[in-house]
Amino acid sequence: MAPRSIATGTISFGLVSIPVRLYAATQPAAQISFNLLHAKDGSRLKQQYVCAQDGEKVEREDMVKGYEVAKDRYVTFTAEELKALDEIATQTIDIAEFVPAAAVDPVYFDKAYHLGPDKAGAKAYRLLADALARSGKAALARYAARGKGYLVLIRAASGRLVMQQLYHADEIRSPEEIPLDAPEPREQEIQLALLLIEQTASDGFHPERYPDLVKQRVQEAIERKLAGEGLQAAPVAEPQAQVIDLLDALKASLTAASGSAGAKPARAAANTPAAEAPPPRKAALKAPRAVAAKKVGKK
The structure's pTM equals: 0.69
Band of residue 290 on the pLDDT scale cut at 50, 70, 90: very low
pLDDT tens, 211-249? 888 888 888 888 888 888 877 766 777 766 665 677 787
Instruction: Tell me how far apart the alpha carbons of residues 109 and 144 are, in angstroms, rounded to a whole number.
Output: 17
* Model pLDDT, residue 242: 64
Lowest-pLDDT range, 184-193, 198-207, 280-289?
A: 280-289
* Model pLDDT, residue 271: 44
* Model pLDDT, residue 141: 96
Q: How many CB atoms lie within 10 A of CB 62?
A: 10
Question: What average pLDDT does this structure show over 268-285?
Answer: 42
Question: What average pLDDT does this structure show over 285-297?
Answer: 39
Domains within the chain, CATH numbers bracketed: 7-26+91-171 (2.40.290.10), 185-199+247-299 (no CATH)
Band of residue 280 on the pLDDT scale cut at 50, 70, 90: very low
Instruction: Tell me how far apart the alpha carbons of residues 137 and 135 are, in angstroms, rounded to a whole number.
Output: 5
Count of all residues that appear for the chain in the document: 299
Smallest CA-to-CA distance from 77 within 245, 30, 68 is with 68
In this model, does residue 77 exceed pLDDT 80?
yes
What CA–CA distances, in Å, run from 211 to 111, 217, 261? 20, 11, 21
The answer to whether 76 touches 66, Cβ cutoff 8 Å, is yes
Instruction: Tell me how far apart the alpha carbons of residues 186 and 184 are, in angstroms, rounded to a whole number.
Output: 7
Band of residue 287 on the pLDDT scale cut at 50, 70, 90: very low
Average pLDDT, the chain: 82
